[in-house]
């Protein structure tokens, strides 16, 4: 996933041209097993908790078991992985909504983030502002497709620098406007006008929180759209993290590599 072309050494200040996606988990479910056992005990129930499940997986399993009171003698010998697989296969997926994670994603384009935020169910977003944050410099996301064709990369760089120069020029030309507004609103007005010149390749940063069900839907819908390289890259980063966080929940997805050297995320049941 690294760039194949040296970074630009042109006179672009701190304008980095080849940002690539980076993803971190910054919050994850905590499951209070002692509490769960105490409350079950108060109902005369017990739960044989399987070994090795993560807190997210235990939370989901407890949600499922509570629906049927399948504790104590009613507990089937299924492992956590089998139990969660059973929930998914039988469409009892609302239980997956109890586990959610928060991620910070950087090095992606505004164009990409516009697609990401279309996911409404079970997702929450906090994204870098183009009104409060100056964009005269900063990273840009050059598509890998463009990086592979030197003439296209040169054209792309020139176009990006033109639009950023126009952005800077507009900030200068508008700096006396909005004198009747409070200073903060004046700046917002000027940046709002100038941002219309920023390319879709402008790098953005976004913190998002999503639950296991919505993440599965995202991976299934977006991970294998072969012509969407940025979406494929982010989906693969996401899956690698999620298979550490809750392997039972995401075991039916796999990462493959296509001929362009970039990953694709598929359901194991999918061909290709």
Ligand X SMILES: Cc1cc2nc3c(=O)[nH]c(=O)nc-3n(C[C@H](O)[C@H](O)[C@H](O)COP(=O)(O)OP(=O)(O)OC[C@H]3O[C@@H](n4cnc5c(N)ncnc54)[C@H](O)[C@@H]3O)c2cc1C
| Binding range to ligand X, per CB under 6 A, among 59-67, 106-114, 156-164, 219-227 | 219-227
222 contributes a contact to ligand X by CB under 6 A: yes
Q: Which of 216, 217, 232, 266 binds ligand X (CB under 6 A)?
A: 217
Q: Which region, left, alpha or beta, applies to residue 54 given φ > 0 means left and ψ of -120 to 50 means alpha?
A: beta
| 53: three-class secondary structure by DSSP | coil
Q: How far is the CB of 179 from ligand X (least distance, A)?
A: 39
Q: Considering the rule CB under 6 A, would residue 118 count as an interface residue with ligand X?
A: yes
Active site residues: 222
- What residues does 203 pair with on adjacent strands? 109
**C-beta of residue 208 within 8 angstroms of C-beta of residue 105:** yes
Q: At 267, which helix (H) or strand (E)?
A: strand 263-267
Which burial class, exposed, middle or buried, applies to 125 when counting CB atoms under 10 A from its CB (0-12, 13-18, 19+)? middle
Nearest distance from residue 18's CB to ligand X, in Å? 25
186 interacts with ligand X by CB under 6 A: no
Triad 228, 229, 234: Cα angle to 5°: 105
Instruction: Select the span of 118-126, 161-169, 177-185, 194-202 touching ligand X (CB under 6 A).
Output: 118-126
193 near ligand X (CB under 6 A): no
CB of 221 to ligand X, least distance (A): 5
Report CA 224 to chain centroid distance, whole Å.
15
- Closer by beta carbon to ligand X, 127 or else 131: 127
Q: How far is the CB of 231 from ligand X (least distance, A)?
A: 8
The closest of 23, 21, 5, 8 to 164, measured between CA atoms, is 8
User: Where does this chain touch ligand X (CB under 6 A) — which range of 41-49, 145-153, 214-222, 251-259?
Assistant: 214-222
Name the residue among 57, 213, 29, 59 with its Cα closest to residue 121. Answer: 213
121 lies in the binding site for ligand X (CB under 6 A) = yes
Q: What is residue 59's three-state secondary structure?
A: helix
**Interface region with ligand X, contact rule CB under 6 A, candidates 1-9, 116-124, 135-143, 159-167:** 116-124
Q: From CA 253, how far away is CA 239, in angstroms rounded? A: 8
CB of residue 213 to ligand X, shortest distance in Å: 9
Verify binding: residue 214, ligand X, rule CB under 6 A: yes
Does 225 bind ligand X (CB under 6 A)? Our answer is yes
Q: Which is nearer to ligand X, 20 or 211 (CB)?
A: 211
Name which of 94 and 221 has its Cβ closer to ligand X.
221
| Distance separating alpha carbons of residues 250 and 81, to the nearest angstrom | 10
- Choose among 113, 85, 103: nearest CA to 237: 103
Q: Name the site residues for ligand X (rule: CB under 6 A).
A: 118-121, 214, 217, 221-222, 225
């Amino acid at each position: 996933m690294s760039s194949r072309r040296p970074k630009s050494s042109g006179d672009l200040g701190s304008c980095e041209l080849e940002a690539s996606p980076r993803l971190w988990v910054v919050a994850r479910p905590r499951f209070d097993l002692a509490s769960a056992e105490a409350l079950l005990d108060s109902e005369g129930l017990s739960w044989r908790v399987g070994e090795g499940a993560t807190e997210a997986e235990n939370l989901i399993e407890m949600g499922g078991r509570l629906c049927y009171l399948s504790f104590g003698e009613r507990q089937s010998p299924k492992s956590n992985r089998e139990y969660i697989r059973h929930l998914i296969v039988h469409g009892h997926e609302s239980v997956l909504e109890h586990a959610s994670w928060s991620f910070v994603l950087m090095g992606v384009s505004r164009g990409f983030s516009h697609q990401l935020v279309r996911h409404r169910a079970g997702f929450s977003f906090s994204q870098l502002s183009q009104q409060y944050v100056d964009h005269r410099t900063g990273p840009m996301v050059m598509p890998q497709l463009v990086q592979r064709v030197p003439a296209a990369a040169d054209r792309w760089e020139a176009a990006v620098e033109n639009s950023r120069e126009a952005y800077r020029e507009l900030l200068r030309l508008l700096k006396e406007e909005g004198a009747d507004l409070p200073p903060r609103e004046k700046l917002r007005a000027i940046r709002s006008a100038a941002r219309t010149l920023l390319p879709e390749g402008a790098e953005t940063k976004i913190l998002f929180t999503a639950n296991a069900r919505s993440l599965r839907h995202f991976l299934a819908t977006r991970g294998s759209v072969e012509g969407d390289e940025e979406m494929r890259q982010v989906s693969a980063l996401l899956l690698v993290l999620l298979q550490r966080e809750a392997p039972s929940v995401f075991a039916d997805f796999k990462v493959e590599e296509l001929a362009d050297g970039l990953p694709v995320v598929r359901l194991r049941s999918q061909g290709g």
